[in-house]
Chain A
Amino acid sequence: MTRSLPLTRRHVVAGLASLPAAALLGRPAAAQAAEIPIGMVLPFSGATGPYGPDMKKAAEMAVKWVNDAGGILGGRPLKLFIEDSETNPTVGVTGTKKLLEVNKVELVGGFWGSPIALAAKPIILAADKVQMVSCSANAVTEGDTKGMVFRFQAKSTSWGPAGAKVMKTIGAKTAVVLAQQNPFVVAMIEPFKAEFAKLGGKVLDVVMYNPDQPSYRSEVEKAFGGDPDAVFCLSLLTDFVSIAKEVYRGGFKSKIVALSIGADAEGKFLQAVGPEVANGIYHLQPAPPLDSPSYKKFVKEMGAAPGTVFLFAGNAHDQMCVTALAMEHAKSSDAKVWAKSVFEVCNPPGEEVDDVVKGLELIRAGKKIKFVGAGATCDFDARGDQINRSFLVQEIKGGKNVSLGIIT
C-alpha cells in the first residue's frame, strides 16, 4: 500500500525560501559588546493593554537619559528590549524566554499583572537574572526569590488597610466589599476587614464576581441593596465602568470607594462613563511622590498635564533608573552582583537623588545615595517589597479628580 505524501516540490521550495528568515533568529543581540541588554515584559494588548504604552515611554525615557549622559560602567549604553505580554501568562513566558536567551538581558522588568509575573518568575530566577515587577500579589515576593525579585508597587495586603482608613474619613460605619475574583484584589479583602473592624466599622458582606461578566446587575443589587454606608469596589477598569453605570441606574445611595486603577485609569474611566455617573466616587491608589520635583519633571517629560497621576509609568521609569544605579554601584552588569546593590542605592541613609544621571555621578564620586523615584520613594525591605508607600485619595467631582490627601 503506497500513498504519496501530499508534499510537493513547491512546498519544499517555499520552506527553503523561508530559511534565511530563520537565520535572522540566530543573530546574537550582543553584536556590540559594550551594550548592556535589559528587558521588559509589558502589556500592549488584552485587558491591561491600555497601560503598556505609557510604561514603555517612561522606561525608554529613563534609558535615554542614562545613555545620553554617557551610559554606565565607563561608557556602556543600556539597550532596552520590550516584549508584549498580551495580558496572557503563556505569552509573557515566551517573551521572557526570548529576552533571557536571545537578548541575554540582565533584568526582566515591567510586569503589569501578577499571574504573568508569577509564571515568569521561576524562569528568570533559574537564569539568575533580576525580576522587577509592577504588580501586587503577595506571592510574587514569597518563597525563594534569591534576593533577585523587586516589587515596584504596594503589596496587595497594604491596599486593604488604606481602604479602611478612607472609609473612616468619609464617615462610613458599615461597608460591603464588592470584588473581582483576581489574585491582586482577593488579597486585599482580609486586611481591609481587620483594619475596618479596628476603626470601629462593620463589613456586612463580601460579594465576589468573575472577570468579564456580561452584566453585573445581580452583584450590584446584592452589594448595594442592603443600603450600607459605603461599598468598597475592588474592580478594574472595564468591570468598574459597568458597575458604576449599574449603580447610577439603580439609584443606590451608598458611597463608593474604589481603586484608582478602575475609577481613574489615567482618565479612561471618566471618558467611559461621563461626569454625572462618576460624581462622588472616591478612589485610592499607591501615590507617586506628587509634590517632589522629580515627579513633576517626570510628568512634564511624559508630555502630560501637570498634576497627572501616573502610577505604572512611574514604576517603569524607576525600574530602569534603579537598574542603572545599582549596576554602577556594583561596578558590574552581572545580575547576581548588582541585585545586592539595589538596597544600597535605594534605601537610606544617603544623599537623596531623584535624577538618575545625577545619581550616577554621585556614585562615581564614591558618595552614598538614596534614590527617590517617580513612582515611589523606592525603599525596599529584605524581601524586595517597596515599603513606605503612601496612598493618594481622590474624589470625582464635576468630572474632575479632586485630591483629598495622602494616607500612609
Chain B
Amino acid sequence: MISYLVTVVILVSIAALVGLALNLQWGLAGLVNFGVAGFVALGAYTLAISAPHVGWLAGMVLAAAVCAGLSMLLSLLTIRLEENYLAIVTIGFAEIVRILLLNLGELTGGALGIADIPRPFAGVTPAGWGDAVILAFALGLVVIVFAFSEALVRSPFGRALRAVRDDATAAAALGKPVLALRVRAFAIGGAIMGLAGALHAFFLTYIDPSQFTPIITAYAFMAVIAGGRGSNLGLVLGAGSIMLILEATRFLKDVIPGVDGVQLSALRLGMIGVGIVLLLILRPEGLVSEPKRRFADFFPPESEKA
C-alpha cells in the first residue's frame, strides 16, 4: 500500500510541476501553451538520451536547458502575431516533437522507446528504496519550484508580467519590455516542464512516445483551472485533487458491487469532467483565488516598518 501511495504522490508531484510551469506561463503571463506534452516529452527524452553519458544531474540540467531554449525560440516566433496564435504554434510544436520522437529511430528508439534509464543514486540505494529516492527527489523539486514561483510572483518581474497579462498595451506604454518579459516567462515555464519530464523518465525508467499524449496538457490545464489561475498554492491543490480522484476511483469497483471496470473506465474520466464543470459554476475563481495584492503588500507604509 505504502509503495502504491508513493507512486501516486510521485505522479502528483510531476503533475504539480507541469501545472506550476503552466501557471507561470498562462496564469501569470497570460501565454496559452497547448504544447505542454511536447515540452514534457522533450525533457524526458533529453534526459534519457544524455544521462547515460553525462550523468543524471547534468542530464537534468540539459533537459531544462533544451526546453528553455526551445520555449524561447517558440515564443519569439509569435513576435508579430496576436497572443492567441501562440496557442496554435504550441499545438504544432507538440505534434512536431511527437512525430520526431517517433521517427528519429537512431536517437530515440522510435516507437520502441528507451528502456533502462539510470536513476539518481541508483548505485547507493538499498534494494526496494528506489521509489523512495524518487519521491524525495520529486517532493524536493516541487518545493524548490514552488518557492521559486512564489518568489517570482512577488518580484518586480512577476508584477510586470501581471501587468502585461492584464493589458499589454498599457504595460508597453509604461515602458515595460513586453516581448522580453513574455519570452522569459515562457522559457522559465519550459525549463520547469523539462524538469518534470526528466522526473517522469527517472520514475518509469522506460519512456516511449505514447506516454506523452495531449492528455498531459489537458490535466495541466485542469489543474490550473481547478486550483485557481495565478495561485500556486491552489495549483498544487488542484493537481493533487485531480490525480487523487483519478486514482481513488480505481477502488470504487473493488468496494462497490455492481460497478465493473468497463463502465468505471468511462465514468472515471466523465466524473473529472463533471467535477471541473461544477467547480467552474460554483467557484469560478478556482479552489484558491489569485491573491489580490495591494500596493501596501509591496511597499509597506513607514509606520509598519520594523
Q: Which residues of A contact B (CB under 8 A)?
A: 1, 3, 5-7, 11, 21-22, 24-26, 28-29, 42, 44-45, 49, 52-53, 56, 81-84, 86-90, 93-95, 97-98, 100-103, 114-115, 118-119, 121-122, 126, 137, 139, 143, 181-183, 185-186, 208, 210-211
> Across the interface, do B248 and A21 meet the contact criterion of CB distance under 8 Å?
yes
Q: Which residues of B contact A102 (CB under 8 A)?
A: 1, 4, 251
**A1, A5, A103, A121 — which one has the most chain B CB atoms within 10 A of its CB?**
A1
| Cα–Cα, bound, A204→B2 (Å) | 55
Given A44-B261, A122-B206, A181-B111, A94:B288 Cβ within 8 A: no
Q: Which residues of A contact B254 (CB under 8 A)?
A: 29, 81, 103
Given A181-B103, A181-B110, A88:B213 Cβ within 8 A: yes
Q: What's the nearest-Cβ distance from chain A to residue B57, in Å?
A: 22
Tell which of A25, A29, A45, A183 touches B208, judged by Cβ atoms closer than 8 Å.
A183
> Across the interface, do A183 and B261 meet the contact criterion of CB distance under 8 Å?
no
> Across the interface, do B4 and A101 meet the contact criterion of CB distance under 8 Å?
yes
Confirm or deny: B278 has a beta carbon within 8 angstroms of a beta carbon on chain A: no
Near A by CB (< 8 A), chain B positions 261-295 give 261-262, 264-266, 268-269, 287-289, 291
> Across the interface, do A90 and B204 meet the contact criterion of CB distance under 8 Å?
yes
| Cα–Cα, bound, A183→B280 (Å) | 41
Q: Which residues of A contact B265 (CB under 8 A)?
A: 44-45, 49, 52, 84, 86
> Across the interface, do B297 and A3 meet the contact criterion of CB distance under 8 Å?
yes
Q: Which residues of A contact B5 (CB under 8 A)?
A: 25
Q: Which residues of A contact B208 (CB under 8 A)?
A: 89, 115, 118-119, 183
- Contacts A6-B233, A11-B287 known; 8 new A-B pairs at CB < 8 A: A5-B233, A7-B233, A52-B262, A84-B261, A84-B264, A89-B206, A100-B3, A119-B211
Interface string of B22-51 (1 = CB under 8 A from A): 000000000000000000000000000000
Given A89-B204, A90-B204, A208-B103, A95:B115 Cβ within 8 A: no
> Across the interface, do B262 and A53 meet the contact criterion of CB distance under 8 Å?
yes
Q: What's the nearest-Cβ distance from chain B to residue A216, in Å?
A: 14
Near A by CB (< 8 A), chain B positions 49-95 give none
Q: Which residues of B contact A143 (CB under 8 A)?
A: 115
Confirm or deny: B113 has a beta carbon within 8 angstroms of a beta carbon on chain A: yes
| Cα–Cα, bound, A95→B215 (Å) | 17
* Total count of chain B residues near the partner, CB < 8 A: 51
Given A1-B300, A101-B3, A101-B4, A94:B210 Cβ within 8 A: no
Closest partner residue, chain A, to B130 (CB atom): A126
> Across the interface, do B1 and A94 meet the contact criterion of CB distance under 8 Å?
no
> Across the interface, do B206 and A118 meet the contact criterion of CB distance under 8 Å?
yes
Q: Which residues of B contact A5 (CB under 8 A)?
A: 233
Q: Which residues of A contact B169 (CB under 8 A)?
A: none
> Across the interface, do A28 and B1 meet the contact criterion of CB distance under 8 Å?
yes
Q: Which residues of B contact A (CB under 8 A)?
A: 1-5, 7-8, 11, 98-99, 102-103, 110-113, 115, 128, 130, 200, 204-206, 208, 210-211, 213, 215, 231, 233-234, 247-248, 250-251, 254-255, 260-262, 264-266, 268-269, 287-289, 291, 297, 300
Closest partner residue, chain B, to A122 (CB atom): B205
> Across the interface, do A115 and B211 meet the contact criterion of CB distance under 8 Å?
yes
Q: Which residues of B contact A183 (CB under 8 A)?
A: 110-113, 208
> Across the interface, do B261 and A56 meet the contact criterion of CB distance under 8 Å?
yes
> Across the interface, do A26 and B7 meet the contact criterion of CB distance under 8 Å?
no
> Across the interface, do A139 and B115 meet the contact criterion of CB distance under 8 Å?
yes
> Across the interface, do A94 and B261 meet the contact criterion of CB distance under 8 Å?
no
Closest partner residue, chain B, to A127 (CB atom): B3
> Across the interface, do B261 and A6 meet the contact criterion of CB distance under 8 Å?
no
Q: What's the nearest-Cβ distance from chain A to residue B2, in Å?
A: 7
Q: Which residues of B contact A28 (CB under 8 A)?
A: 1
Q: Which residues of B contact A42 (CB under 8 A)?
A: 261
Closest 3 CB pairs of A and B: A44-B265, A101-B4, A84-B265
Closest partner residue, chain A, to B247 (CB atom): A94
**A29, A42, A94 — which one has the most chain B CB atoms within 10 A of its CB?**
A94
| Cα–Cα, bound, A6→B286 (Å) | 11
